[in-house]
Structure 1
Amino acid sequence: MCKIIIENLIKIFTNSVAAVLPANLIKKSLKYNSEVLNVCGHEYNLKDKQLYVIGFGKAVKNMAIEIENMLDSKIKQGIVSVPIESLEHDESKRKILYIEGARNNLPDLLAENTSRKVKSLITSLTKDDILLVLISGGGSALLPLPKSPITLYEKTSVIKMLGNAGADIKELNSVRKRISDLKGGKLAIESQPAHVVSLILSDIVGDPLDLIASGPTVENKDVSDEALKVIQKYELFTKIPESVKHVLQSSELIQPFPDNNVKNYIIGSNKICVEASIKEIKLIGYTPIVLSHTITGNVKQVAQDYLKITQMFCDYCDEHIDLNCLKNKLNGLNLPNINEFTVLSTDVENGICLVLSGETTVQVKGNGVGGRNQQLALEFSILLNENRHKLNKFSIYFLSAGTDGIDGPTDAAGALGYLNLVLDAEKENLDVQSCVDNNDSYTFYKMFQNGAFHVITGHTNTNVMDIHLLFIKRNSK
């Protein structure tokens, strides 16, 4: 194994995460000077205006603190809903009220009560007020106010039924918006006639504004009976509570969406993280190639796709295929949004670092401890081992890690895999395949090489999905 490559891949990952830390994103996106607030190039005159701040999500605490540091004298009031155990220091003396809730990222009464406070604040605003709305992943659970007469328990039970029935994210979102009091653009409508400015940290592939925290400041373009059709599609109508039936079947009277008074800005996303990784890869001296921002699917299939990609780039580095052939082969894979790139043969001598990002899934069959990134690193290492006779001319290393610093119910962000991992594990009497079968990737990496291949960052207080780095270099002849 090559220690310097491992260190470099971890360095690339940590520096890419730093680019999407909430405080850094606020500093980059907001500027304040002489009563004028500049948000992503758009100016808002704060003279004779009252400024209010609300927020909900895993990353909004540090966003709010940075905004308060910048705009303290202008802020009239604020309420931010953050996860349990987010508040390490006493924040009670600040103008913005920080309230914890949504234990284990699940809607609860604490978050519901905070949502009521948020609604009370926004419905009191006037045309002379500006409302800054901070939104990040986890925001849906931290703003769970159900539409009357539905209770929070009834609302969450319906969403759980749909999830268990196989509903996708868009279907879940349609129902969630319909039976919620602030989602699906209703927060923006309730805030009128104030000016609404949303700062959004995206944690969803493709950055769909209406799906991030269920789009509280985004116009809901669903047809009126769309949520009801989703319930009927999964044959759940007879199983849902009467209160939910009542809401789904009643006419929803919603005011026109105030387009001219609402602006949504994505200030942080996976793409920003990837751009930062490219800069670091170039500084190290590798050739960066971004293949896709939208990797999804089960880790078993993703690992197989990554093996094919590895074989293609090894053939290219070995001059068995030319650039056009490589591109054609890549386009033949069932990977979304394969990016165009240009590489010359002279560029690959120091190694290629492929960058892919998105969010995979794991089908859990065992009772071990792990996460999708650690599982993917092991799955990929097994496939490399099975094909090592074709690949042994190359150094191949792979990093898969979550930008939030937490992979599953573990303290690891992810892990690294490589060509000879399976063989090296056998020397320590560790069975990689059994760990994969038991979904016990965390235990494996904790034991293997004394944890040297674990990626440990701790909570990063941000989340723009996962980063995958695949390093390929032909060994010296």
Structure 2
Amino acid sequence: MSMARVLSLFRPQPFLAFVGRRKPTLCKMSMDSRARGVFAAAVEGVQPDTVVRQSVERKEDTVVIQGHKFTLKHNLHLVGFGKAVLGMAAEAERIVGDHLVKGVISVPHGIQQTLQQHGKDHLLLKENTRIEVMEGAKHNLPDADAQKAAERIKQLASELTEKDLLLVLISGGGSALLPAPVPPISLQEKLDVTRKLAAAGATIQELNTVRRALSFLKGGGLAQCAHPAQVIALILSDVIGDPLDLIASGPTVRSEVWPEEVLSVLEHYKLLSSVPASVKDVLGGPCIRESKDEPNTPGHVLNAVIGSNSLALKCAGRRARELGFRPVVLAPGVCGDVKSVSRLYGLLARFACSREEPPPEIAAEMLRLGPDVGVESWDLCRTMQVLDEGRTEGWGATCLLAGGEPTVELTGKGRGGRNQELALRVGLELRGLELPPNGPVFLSGGTDGQDGPTEAAGAITDGGLYEEAQAQGLDIDNFLTNNDSNTFFTRLSDGQRLLVPGLTCTNVMDVHMLLIPPIPIIIK
């Protein structure tokens, strides 16, 4: 099957591929600098104060959120939990003013001092704040401090009436900051059960099924505590597809939890006989979420995703156009093993940079890889269509954007993370292609600014990576086998390829970027 035939099967509407067909004017910045600039715009677009400010509109004594109007009568209470919640709370309090009665937020240990040290005072609460800040969850693990904060949040919610509004702020890391085991289960007992399940190979869905059953506030429990008050949840998503029930384990999203389902999961992994007596007592009691006939989200709850990977990619695309690129979003949910993901990006680069019509085998292999890495065939063919037209019609440089969270198979004990390893593997895939500015550049970075246990968020690579490593005596295969991508990039050219944005104060997963230079027009 010819390339034209492959692409014609999935011919998209033009607006799905990009906005406008005007050929951008390239600026004089290097490809590396432009890649870093586009990533910075992605992070800036999902700052916690920014997403709240853009989503909550104050009109005299009302606030409007996603088209829903709520009356303020000095009746607003606030709770929150997550790594980005401090900045969200500061902006929310600024907007609602003295209509805020009181609030409690659970945030990571040391976050206030860290923000002060990095000059992020705009993300801190004012001295006269009505919000109580409770720090906990050292090393992103539930602990006694986080449990104490959860109890305060539960108490505040339980005291509300039908005249009150409860504003709930949620971001990544919220699950660890809101531990509230169902009595008589202790926090340690709950942690032990979930750790054993994870070690046994349980899926994220199975883990959440058990976690919700053993938690008082997860799975819609917080919203139930607040009834009959109106609950408004503002959510900064760090999960692929923005599933409300998975972000921080869905404290404002009703979910049915049936003891027999949980018992079935434990039995499947041969853990039923080893769980504590307290867990068996809870599972042997009445159903925690009583009716499957009731709606997933109660009528008194509004769940609003105000920041996500898709928003970050939109902001990145806007900046890419300003820097002379035609932005094209591949997908916001790239996942799967980094080996397959890197292969896909390598094929896309070769497809885009081919001076002649690419062989159909490239498209066929990409379509085979797509389902394994979370990219739909439609999105792949739409992207190939745009890249093919760009090559034949001379539309200039292209910025291919994607997001998500690939996974890394651990085979060693080196320092690194999924973004640095992905960049390293893509560098190998680009071997043989021209160097910048005439060849492609690839960037992978975590929007939270930290890729694994390193100070880097990711790295930038191109077709010259292999030769550069050889010249400096660095064996790429050895670094990959030891999962030591950070050490590799640190040694390579004194770490100039590393992406180190510092404290970002947000997290909407990763941003992947493939910058493709203009390709000479094909004369047919």
- TM above 0.5, yes or no, is yes
1:203, 1:221 → 2: CA distance?
A: 23
Q: Which runs of 5+ in 2 are unaligned?
A: 1-27, 117-123
- Is the contact made by 1:349 and 1:473 (CA closer than 8 Å) also made in structure 2? no
The one of 457, 471, 475 aligned to 1:431: 475
Give the secondary structure class of the aligned counterpart of 2:165.
strand
Question: Residues 347 and 412 (structure 1 numbering): CA distance in 2 closer, same or farther, change over 3 Å?
Answer: farther
* 2: CA distance, partners of 1:427 / 1:46: 66
Q: Is the counterpart of residue 18 in structure 1 residue 55 in structure 2?
A: no
Match of 1:453 in 2: 497
Q: Does 1:139 align with 2:164?
A: no
Relative to structure 1, is the Cα distance of residues 187 and 255 closer, same or farther in structure 2, using a 3 angstrom cutoff? farther
Amino acid at match of 2:308: S
Query: After the TM superposition, which segments of 4 or more aligned residues of structure 1 sit over 6 Å from their partners?
Result: 255-258, 324-329, 389-393
Residue 473 (str. 1) matches residue 517 (str. 2): yes
Distance 1:333 1:352 in 2: 22
Question: Is this contact kept in 2: 1:189–1:255, CA < 8 A?
Answer: no
Consecutive unaligned residues in structure 1, runs of 5 or more: none
Asked whether the equivalents of residues 394 and 519 of structure 2 are also in contact (C-alpha less than 8 Å), the reply is no
Task: Report 1 or 2 for greater relative contact order, CA contacts < 8 Å, sequence distance ≥ 6.
Answer: 2
The CA distance in 2 between the partners of 1:255 and 1:82, in whole Å, is: 31
Flag the 1:426–1:133 CA change in 2: closer, same or farther, 3 A: same
Residue equivalent to 2:62: 36
Aligned residue type for 2:411? K
Does 1:294 pair with 2:294? Answer: no
Contact 2:31–2:436 (CA<8 Å) still a contact in 1? no
Contact preservation (8 Å) 1:36, 1:46: yes
What TM-score do the two structures reach when normalised by structure 2?
Answer: 0.85
Asked if 1:119 is matched to 2:154, the reply is yes
Q: Shift in Å at residue 70 of structure 1?
A: 1.6
Alpha-carbon distance between aligned partners in 2 of 1:451 and 1:420, rounded to the nearest angstrom? 15
Pair 1:463-2:500 in alignment: no
Instruction: Give the aligned partner of residue 70 of structure 1.
Output: 95
In structure 2, the partner of 1:217 is 252
Contact 2:256-2:289 at 8 Å conserved across structures: no
- Quick one: percent identity of the two aligned structures? 39
Of 423, 426, 449 in structure 2, the residue corresponding to residue 377 of structure 1 is 423
Displacement of 1:208 in angstroms is 0.5
Q: CA RMSD in A?
A: 2.4
Q: Distance in 2 between matches of 1:389 and 1:41?
A: 49
Amino acid at match of 1:153: Q
* CA contact 1:314–1:391 (8 Å) conserved in 2: no
SS at match of 2:406: strand
Indicate the SS of the match to 1:259: coil
Q: Which residue of 1 aligns with 2:199?
A: 164
Measure, in 2, the Cα distance between the counterparts of 1:389 and 1:418.
8
Deviation track 1:184-235 (CA, whole Å, cap 9, x = no partner) reads 0010001011110000011000110000000000010344422222111211
Cα 1:453–1:161 shift into 2, 3 Å:
same
Mapping 1:157-306, distance limit 5 Å: 157-254=192-289, 259-306=298-345
2: distance between equivalents of 1:378 and 1:270?
Answer: 23
The one-letter code sitting in structure 1 at the alignment partner of 2:446 is G
Deviation for aligned residue 1:447: 2.0
Q: Could you tell me whether the CA contact under 8 Å between 2:353 and 2:519 is conserved in 1? A: no
Distance in 2 between residues matched to 1:373 and 1:303, nearest whole Å:
11
Question: What amino acid does structure 2 have at the position aligned with 1:399?
Answer: L
Between Structure 1 and Structure 2, the one with more strand by share is: 1
Contact between 1:314 and 1:394, CA under 8 Å: does it hold in 2?
Answer: no
SS at match of 2:95: helix
Structure 1 SS opposite 2:299: helix
Counterpart contact for 1:312–1:329, Cα < 8 Å: no
CA distance in structure 1 between the partners assigned to 2:222 and 2:204 by the alignment: 21
CA shift for structure 1 position 39: 1.2
Q: How many residues are aligned here?
A: 470
Q: Classify the secondary structure of the residue corresponding to 2:517.
A: strand
Q: In 2, distance between residues paired with 1:261 and 1:392?
A: 55
Aligned mates of 1:276, 1:314 — CA distance in 2: 25
Cα gap change, 1:79/1:24 in structure 2, threshold over 3 Å: closer, same or farther? same
- Counterpart of 2:447 in structure 1 is 403
TM-score by length of 1: 0.93
Q: Which residue of 1 aligns with 2:458?
A: 414
The verdict on how the C-alpha distance between 1:389 and 1:93 changes in structure 2, with shifts beyond 3 A counting, is closer
Deviations 1:409-439 (A, max 9, x none): 1111110111111111222222222222111
Shift of 1:354: 1.2
The AA in structure 2 aligned to 1:383 is E
